[in-house]
Copies of this chain bind each other. A is one copy, B any other.
Amino acid sequence: MHIGELCDRVALSQRTVRYYEEVGLVVPESRSKGGFRIYSRRHVTRLLVIKQMKPLGFSLEDMGAVLDSLDRAGADELRPEEAGELRQRLQLHAESVAERRAALEEQLEAADRLTATLDAAAERLSCLTAL
């Protein structure tokens, strides 16, 4: 498929997808004779994973590392020495996800505090205008 269909499927802009290629995050399988980028279903899933990770605050480089580990863990053949190191990496990734998750929960509380602040201000206004 070409870039247009890909972007429709994952709801990202063409600019974004091209930029991901520029930084080596999502590289097309090949090019058409005229130079059009050609993508497969694998690229769709990869972009969807990226979309999931993005709001957690990972940089594109971070996401590349995670995707790389996942790809290698999903490969059919892997040498035993690679497996050990890979498991360590996955563990590290999982830990940083946990940290991001904790940060998100703090942000939820911040949102609630802000809501309370806004409500209090509105309440104060109501009292004043009731006079």
Interface residues, chain A, with chain B CB atoms under 8 Å away: 49, 52-53, 55-56, 66, 69-70, 73-74, 78, 80, 83-84, 86-87, 90-91, 93-94, 97-98, 100-101, 103-105, 107-108, 110-115, 117-119, 121-122, 124-126, 128-129
Contact = CB atoms under 8 A, between A and B. Distances in A.
B83 A122 contact: no
A100 B90 contact: no
Contacts of A117: 49, 70
A119 B94 contact: yes
Q: How many copies does the complex hold?
A: 2
Given A98-B115, A112-B101, A87 B56 contact: no
A90 B56 contact: no
A115 B49 CA distance: 12
B107 A56 contact: yes
Given A69-B121, A91-B122, A104-B108, 18 more contacts: A49-B114, A52-B113, A52-B114, A55-B110, A56-B114, A66-B118, A74-B124, A83-B125, A83-B128, A83-B129, A87-B126, A90-B122, A94-B122, A101-B108, A101-B115, A104-B104, A104-B107, A104-B111
